A = this chain, B = another copy of it.
Amino acid sequence: MSKILEISGLTKNYHDAPDSEDILKNLNLTVNEGDFLCILGPSGCGKTTLIRCIAGFEEYEGMIKVDGKKVEKPGIDRIMVFQDFNQLFPWKTVRKNIQYPLKINGITDKAELDRIAREHLELVGLSEYGDFYPHQLSGGMKQRVAIAKGLALNPKIILMDEPFASLDAMTRNKLQEELWRIKEKENATVIFITHNIQEALVLGTRILLLSKQGKIKIDMENNVAKPVTPASEGYGEMWKKFNDALWEEDEEN
């Protein structure tokens, strides 16, 4: 498998105060094409910062290469679903929010656009909400539209920042399945931040545990056979490993 993402010596400091600390320090990471990389880690450890750097939103020291090319600005090859509820454009309806990125990227056929929007709205269970404006949606619904919008673009790399955090168990389950299906079909690479160890085990082909200053504490393949359930072989063991590491993390602070 080819390396789609290579990070070496990544250091990030927001420099917002004279004595501001490095958020990420000399981080090295390689991700292969088709990987589903889940990132766990305590709140504030730099997960979001890391994927923002990969997405091209932040200046950084060190080197991030996507497909061999240094990341300097955002690109349509890396689509990000943000953590924030307000990432939809409030001046566009839900449907337009999904179609607009497609239009910009060359899909102009009306029927095609409608089909894609319909399919993806159905996927996230919001078929009836196409004409709503974002401010008329609940938190979870906004988040689902953002996911639909990201997936509709069929990007090579999908960066997701706790996308399912505000969804109920059912919707979450369904979307997890869909995400996995789409990734497999398109052979996309997914980098996925979550606080849910179970979710990481269910989805990830590889799981990363980040600790303070972006130190990679655990970086391992997830060998539990898909589809993963709590009853799968090796699940309990893996779960405990990450859970313990996270607690340990906590005690260190």
Contact = CB atoms under 8 A, between A and B. Distances in A.
A252 B110 CA distance: 32
Contact of A42 (B14, B40, B171, B249): B171
B136 A170 contact: no
Contacts of A16: 136
A144 interface: yes
Interface stretch (A68-76, A112-120, A159-167): A159-167
Category for how many chain A residues contact B: 35 or more
Interface stretch (A24-32, A81-89, A97-105): A81-89
A17 B42 CA distance: 43
A42 B168 contact: yes
Contacts of A40: 168
A246 interface: yes
Interface string A169-205: 1111010000000000000000000011100000000
Given A85-B84, A85-B85, A44 B170 contact: no
A137 to B, nearest CB: 8
Given A85-B84, A85-B85, A168 B195 contact: yes
A10 interface: no
B139 A83 contact: yes
B246 A167 contact: no
Contact of A85 (B83, B172, B195): B83
Given A85-B83, A86-B86, A253-B125, A43 B136 contact: no
Nearest to A249: B170
B43 A171 contact: yes
A48 interface: yes
Interface of A: 14, 16, 40-44, 47-49, 83-86, 125, 136-141, 144, 161-162, 165-172, 174, 195-197, 243, 246-247, 249-250, 253
21 contacts: A14-B136, A40-B168, A41-B168, A42-B168, A42-B171, A43-B138, A43-B144, A43-B166, A43-B168, A44-B141, A47-B138, A48-B139, A49-B138, A83-B85, A139-B161, A139-B162, A166-B166, A168-B246, A169-B243, A170-B246, A170-B250
